[in-house]
Structure formats: C-alpha cells, structure tokens
Amino acid sequence: MSLAVCPGSFDPVTLGHLDVIRRARSMFDEVVVVVAHNAAKHPLLSVEERVALVEGAVKDIPDVRVVAWDGLLADYLKQSGAHAVVKGLRGGADVDAELGMALLNRHLSGVETVFVPGDGALAHVASSLVKDVARHGGAIDDLVPPGVAAAVSAALDGGTR
C-alpha cells in the first residue's frame, strides 16, 4: 500500500490545498495531510483549529487522514513509512521555495517529493493572501472550503486583525 504525505501549515486550508490532496489521493493508496508547526510563521489559527478544518474539508475523500506534527518532516516520513511527499506548485516562486526542502527531506529520510502543478484556476490562491483579504473585510468563501471563512473571521475578530 503506497502512502503519500501532504505537509503544510494550512493556515487556513484553501481550495488549492484540496486540489493537491485530491490529486495525491489519485496517485497513492493513502494520503496523510500533515499539519505542521512552522516556527518561522505566526499562525492565525491554532494547530487544533487547522487540523479540524482540514479534517472537515477532506471528510469525503476516502483514505485521507489528518495529523498534527511538531518536528522535522523527515522524522515523520521515516516514522510513518511514507513513500512520497506531495507538494503543489503554483509557479516559479513555489519551485524555488520547495526544491531545497525536497532535497533536504530526501537527504534526511530517503523519501522523494512529487511536485504536482496546481490547478491554473487556483494559482492565485495562497493562505497568506486569503488571510490578507479577510483582514481587510473581503469575502473569501470562494477561496476556501465550507466553514473555513467563518473560522478565519472568528480568529480575526478575536483581536489578531
């Protein structure tokens, strides 16, 4: 049984993330979405909120599960027996950002990264941009799965705007 890992901060999960997760599932028997803690980022949503939102978004995709991880992705890859990491690419900037991580993860774990070109219709959708639109009062419902816009709004109304 082949296992792929789709890692990210998912702050918040977007329709672009779901596109990559669905396509990863079409290539592998099982997909684990790893909601990672990134010390370089200051998330709007807690890890628990992000896990719950991703779980809600993938509930209808068979053989996809969601876990939180606070450590090296390479350690999770070895522990889980993963066969591949799957990452979506929207454009050249993503290639530049992801290539070094893919090479380091392969060096540390022996696991290869598969890059999946993102859906062109979603190339403009990034979690950071979604949060920026929401911070300025814009609608994000058509950029995120159901329930996510309300969670982002609630977090922003909690004083982090």
Residue 159's pLDDT is 54
Count of other CB atoms within 10 angstroms of residue 38: 12
* Cβ atoms 121, 10 nearer than 8 A: no
pLDDT digits (tens, 9 = 90+) for 27-81: 999 999 999 987 777 899 999 999 999 999 999 999 999 999 999 999 999 999 9
* Cβ atoms 26, 114 nearer than 8 A: no
Of the residues 2, 37, 41, 59, only one is catalytic, namely 41
Residue 89's pLDDT is 96
Residue 87 among the catalytic residues: no
CA separation for the pair 149, 142 (Å, rounded): 9
Specify the number of domains making up the chain.
Answer: 1
Using CB atoms within 10 Å of the CB of residue 154, give its burial: 0 to 12 exposed, 13 to 18 middle, 19+ buried: exposed
Of the residues 9, 23, 25, 127, only one is catalytic, namely 127
3-state secondary structure of 88: strand
Residue 90 among the catalytic residues: yes
pLDDT above 70 (res 22): yes
Of the residues 25, 50, 90, 131, only one is catalytic, namely 90
The CATH number of whichever domain residue 151 belongs to comes to: 3.40.50.620
Residue 127 among the catalytic residues: yes
Range of the structural domain that residue 125 is part of: 3-160
Q: Looking up tokens 């070094």, which residue turns up? A: 100
pLDDT above 70 (res 1): yes
pLDDT digits (tens, 9 = 90+) for 97-133: 999 999 999 999 999 999 999 999 999 999 999 999 9
